[in-house]
Structure 1
Amino acid sequence: MTTVAAAVANLLAEAGARRCYTVPGESFLALVDEIAHHPRMQLVSVRHESGAAFMADADARLTGVPAVAMASRGPGSSNLAIGVHTAHQDSTPMIVLLGQVDSELRGREAFQEVDLAAFYGPITKWAVTAERAQDVPGLVAKGWEIATTGRPGPVAIALPSDVVDVELGDVPITVPATPAPAPADPAAVADLAERLLRARRPVAVAGEGARGARDELVRVAERFGVGVCTSFRRQDAFPVDHPQFLGHLGLAVPPETVDAVSGADLLLVVGTRLDEISTQRYRLPAPGCEVVHVGRYGAGGIDADPADVLAALADRPGAARPADWSATHAAVDAWSTAAPTAAGAGVHPADVITALHRALPADAVVTSDAGNFAAFLHRYWRFPPTTTQLAPVNGAMGYAVPAAVAAALAAPDRTAVAVVGDGGVLMTGQEIETAVRLGAPAVVVVLQNGMYGTIAMHQARDLGRTSGVDISGVDLVRWAEGLGAAAYGVTDAAGLDDALRQAVGGRRPAVVAVRTDPDVITPAATLHELLGVS
């Protein structure tokens, strides 16, 4: 006889899931036990449910296979929700399993009860509560299909605690398969080729779904004269040193990048949605611009694997039309090249990013948190195209450290580095203990300026003063050592290279705490300037 918990664990393993991230809860004890002892799955017990969801997001984005995040009832599911929202906006496939109160107690505001299907509905592709034990395997199989079909995303399945260890008997179990993308339609490819050749200034925006099609996108850009931008926090989708690279559509964008996209008469959107940041608050593309989606992220295009579509375009016989984007590329290149810096009380953030470029291998995984420190990472991103970038498009603080831990588990042959501010590291940095316990050699680089920099910037600009943004000067070296990690403190730029070299080369969890100049609030402004203080 097979229990519901055993059936779910077997089903997930057969489908391809390899890790489940969770804070164990009493509402799904049997499921935790089955996954922990399954020969093809790893149970990763974390220190906070937000870390579990962030880890599952990073794992799935690296492997292309849904990871599993689990949490218990109201408090646990509430903590988990931030990472599920991240996966929803990041288009990341994820299976979310939520413990729920006993079936007979539902609807009576029982201990820790929340209507989980209603709670998770707006931040998932599908949210459901199991009404009967025998329905659970079918719900998990359906959830896997929904998570991986069309635009990927998370699904949530609430499991009342009284159904998890029920014996199923002979209920048939269908193992879900990740659906293969539809093949590129030759007629649609031919039509797109003609439209590209007719376009005066075609531009592409490449996102998460274009990572596996980077070489094909380069070939299409060169053949059809397409200038290429990367969408928000997807800077690994196209080589930054290619002469047709036009910049990163982030929060701070050189005017030449905006001009290139606003001047396009055909916008090729490859493997991404046109979100608020990438479109500069929905100002792009310009009215009248023809928009063609390639991938599963929007209507009005070719719903097929981007690599197949782009390869068919590049290989199609017929005319070619090169174009000169050198002026725009040169302007973007100059804007994103860090100049020699000087700082007052601490290291200039730009120096941290350029030192990181020198320290990391070409195939590293760089996870980034949210905060003003990230403006320096995004502006001065010069990593090779083989470097993977994992960063939340929903701007969730606390993402970087758990994501780096998951990257070290999911891709143990690569170097995983989190870039984070002191605000973010104090939210989820306890997951360094998870890395130490599991031997995951994640490196955490903290730009420590003693404040919530983004909020301080907005307050200075809008109000002329700051409130509630101070972070005390925590001794992050002692803190990291207390969690079991190697730790290095840096207070001047001269110490950066050695600290990063030791942290990256040590192949153990490590923290590099860099005291940065709090006055250097953005790459273009100081806090004193914004406050009007001389």
Structure 2
Amino acid sequence: MQTGGQILAACLAKQGVRRIFGVPGESYLAVLDALVDHPEIALIGNRNEGGAAFMACAHGELTGAPGICFVTRGPGATNASIGVHSAMQGSVPMILFIGQIAREMRGREAFQAVDYRAFFGPIAKWVVEVDSPDRLPEIIARAFVVAQSGRPGPVVVALPEDMLTDMSDARPAPPVKLAEAAPSVDAIHELRRLLGRAERPLIVLGGGGWSAQGRADLAGFAEANHIPVATAFRFQDLIDHFSPSYCGDVGLGKTKAMRQALDEADLIFALNIRFGENTTDGYALWPVPRMGKVLVHSHASDAELGKIYQADLPIHAHPNALMAVLKGMDMRGAWADWCARCHEGYRASLTIPPQPGTLDMGRVVAHLQAVLPEAAILANGAGNFAIWSNKYFRFGPKARLLAPQSGAMGYGLPAAIAAKLECPDVPVVCFAGDGDFQMNLNELGTAMQHGAMPIVLIVNNGTYGTIRMHQERSYPARVSFTDIDNPDFVALARAYRAHAEQVTRTEDFPAAFARACASPTGAVLELVIDPESLTPGQTLSQMRAAGEAKNRI
């Protein structure tokens, strides 16, 4: 006989869990005690449950295996909800375990009680509370299947504390096996027919569940058939940007060349994407529910097919299974010139005009491109600063991007730490705005404690840049609530034993970055940029003038 906590720990070990993120709580002490007997599972102590959930989400994004997070009831669970939301919007496998009130206290609004099914139901794939330790093997196995199957996403498991101390003779289930939906013969035949009639096909790529082989098969298929490929919002690392088929990202701030490609394409092959707001420009890019072009939409989950747009050919197939069938197939049409034109449009969009001030982020990104190895990992949270890494850094076949589909500020630092834990020998660079960084800067303590400090680039302009941009465009010269009085970032980072410097001139960045890379304790570089440099190609003053002109009309 074993306690529920011991059975749960054994179940996690059986499923191959190697790392747990979280903040300790008295509601799941029985699990913490049981994990002492499983040294193969590392416990990563976070400083806030939101940071822990972000790390679990990033782990799932990077590895494809569910990121595991443990938090206590009530405030711990609600703090962690931001990571659950990010995992759901990003199609990332994750499992959040929550210590829960004792079963006999249900319905009494006990201390820190929350109805987790009601709270997490809209933002998780499955929410369950375990009533008996006898059912732990069943429920844990199902949680791993649900988190990884179809469209990957988060699962929430509540653990009543008295259940964790009850005794049972239940034994862990074996490692789960996952099914991948494969395309039908008829679907492949129809895809060939529709492509044969197209003059300007365009693949729009995204979603979760991709393997390295699946990505390689995709690139091979697109290149052999001269089909241009665009990536959905923050899925830039799914294809090599140096591929002759790559033509940019269909996210926020679409380039002129990308818009032209989307307008001119007569067939859209939506490959494993959900049609989100940012990819579709608020669903205005194409009319709903028929986009006015031939649409082929494939997805690992049948629930995404027909959800927004009605496809001429819906294909229920896992992306890896679909590409395994398509690789090597000759579906070429007279598209070579079209593909070359789309790729050249992307290459031309990489030209960055000089930025105002003494520190030019365009030249910073160019230096990173030159010195980082091809297997580097970049992470970011949300804000205009992310444009630099998302739009102007070219991801090779081994580079990875960890970025929040949900637009959550504060994601970048926890994600970078999670990446450093998983890939300690790979350079990990976090792009953070000054406001974004302060959402989770306390996770520097986690990095310090576990020896997993990345290189953090704080792009400091003293304002919430994205909101200031919209403010100037809509309410010019009426600034409120967007300025930030920042701390001494260098002193703060040094308190966490990291190498830290402030950089104010472009020419000083290469040497500072070299010192950051050489630091055995990671580094924080504060990059002080001109507030005029809110977004590439348009200054703050220009935004304000455009807003004033708009208001006069």
Fold in common (TM above 0.5): yes
Q: Does 1:333 align with 2:347?
A: yes
Task: Report whether the alignment pairs 1:439 with 2:443.
Answer: no
- Does structure 2 conserve the Cα–Cα contact (< 8 Å) formed by 1:117 and 1:157? no
The one-letter code matched in structure 1 to 2:173 is T
Where 2:378 maps in the other structure, the secondary structure is: strand
Tell me whether 351-360 or 478-487 shows the greater mean CA deviation.
351-360
Q: Distance in 2 between matches of 1:268 and 1:373?
A: 30
- Name the amino acid aligned to 2:451: G
Give, in whole Å, the separation in 2 of the partners of 1:483 and 1:108: 43
Query: Per the alignment, do residues 37 and 481 of structure 1 end up closer, same or farther by CA in structure 2, a change over 3 Å counting?
Result: farther
Give % identity.
Answer: 38
CA displacement 1:101-137 (0-9 Å, x = unmatched): 1111122111111111210111100112223332333
Aligned to 1:194: 193
Which one-letter code corresponds to 1:489 in the other structure? Q
| Rounded Cα–Cα distance in structure 1 between residues aligned with 2:82 and 2:96 | 12
**Secondary structure, aligned partner of 2:490:** helix
The answer to whether residue 497 in structure 2 is matched with residue 484 in structure 1 is yes
3-state SS of paired residue (2:469): helix
- 1:323 aligns with 336
Q: 2:155 maps to which residue?
A: 155
Which residue pairs with 2:103 in the alignment? 103
Task: Compute the displacement of 1:530 (Å).
Answer: 2.2
Name the counterpart of 2:515: 502
Amino acid at match of 2:393: W
Q: Write out per-residue CA displacement over residues 358-415 of structure 1, whole angstroms, 9 at most, x where no aligned residue.
A: 3321101101110011122222122323210110011000000000000011122311
2:207·2:274 contact (CA, 8 Å) conserved in 1? no
Other-structure match for 1:15: 15
| Counterpart Cα distance in 2 of 1:2 and 1:436 | 35
Judge conservation of contact 2:25–2:72 (CA < 8 Å) in 1: yes
Q: Do 2:532 and 2:540's aligned partners in 1 also have CA atoms closer than 8 Å?
A: yes
SS at match of 1:467: coil
Residue 310 of structure 2 corresponds to none
Which of 286, 293, 306 is equivalent to 2:297? Answer: 293
For each residue in 1:275-321, what CA deviation from the matched residue of structure 2 results, as whole angstroms up to 9, or x when unmatched?
11112222344623232233415325333342342243232367665
Q: Contact between 1:148 and 1:178, CA under 8 Å: does it hold in 2?
A: no
| Cα deviation 1:417-438 (Å, max 9, x = unaligned) | 1111111111101111111111
> 1:294 is paired with a residue of what secondary structure?
strand
Spell out the pairing of 1:111-122 with structure 2 (5 A cutoff): 111-122=111-122
Where do residues 301-312 of structure 1 align in structure 2 (5 Å cutoff)? Answer: 301-312=314-325
Q: 1:264 and 1:37 mapped to 2: Cα distance?
A: 58
Aligned ranges 1:57-456 → 2 under 5 Å: 57-168=57-168, 170-209=169-208, 210=210, 212=212, 213-285=214-286, 287-297=291-301, 298-299=304-305, 301-316=314-329, 321-324=334-337, 325-339=339-353, 341-344=354-357, 346-456=358-468
Instruction: Kindly indicate whether the alpha-carbon contact (under 8 Å) linking 1:408 and 1:414 is maintained by their aligned counterparts in 2.
Output: yes
Q: Deviations over 1:204-258 (max 9, x none)?
A: 0111445633332222223333211011011112222333322111211112212
Letter in 1 for 2:54: F
Rounded to whole Å, the distance in 1 between the matches of 2:146 and 2:175 is 10
Q: Does 1:532 align with 2:545?
A: yes
Distance in structure 2 (CA, Å) of the matches to 1:36 and 1:86 = 30
Shift of 1:184: 4.5
**Separation (CA, whole Å) in 2 of partners of 1:296 and 1:408:** 29
Contact 1:398–1:428 under 8 Å retained in 2: yes
SS in structure 1 at match of 2:336: coil
What SS does the aligned partner of 1:200 have?
coil
Distance 2:380 2:501 in 1: 19
* Distance across 1 between alignment mates of 2:292 and 2:469: 36
> Is contact 2:223–2:244 with CA below 8 Å preserved after alignment?
no
Q: What is the CA-CA distance between 1:176 and the residue it aligns to?
A: 4.6
Question: Structure 1 residue 49: deviation in Å?
Answer: 0.5
Q: Is the 8 A contact 1:193 1:313 kept in 2?
A: no
The SS at the match of 2:276 is coil
Conserved 8 A contact 2:502-2:526: yes
- Cα distance change of structure 1 residues 479 and 242 upon mapping to structure 2, 3 Å threshold: same
- TM-score normalized with structure 1 length: 0.94
1:32 is matched with 32
Q: Aligned equivalents of 2:390 and 2:171: distance in 1?
A: 50
Q: Is the 8 A contact 2:239 2:396 kept in 1?
A: no
Shift of 1:508: 2.6
Secondary structure at the aligned position of 1:394 is classed as coil
361-370 or 410-419, larger mean C-alpha shift = 410-419
3-state SS of 1:171 partner: coil
The alignment's C-alpha RMSD in Å is: 2.1
Residue of structure 2 equivalent to 1:4: 4
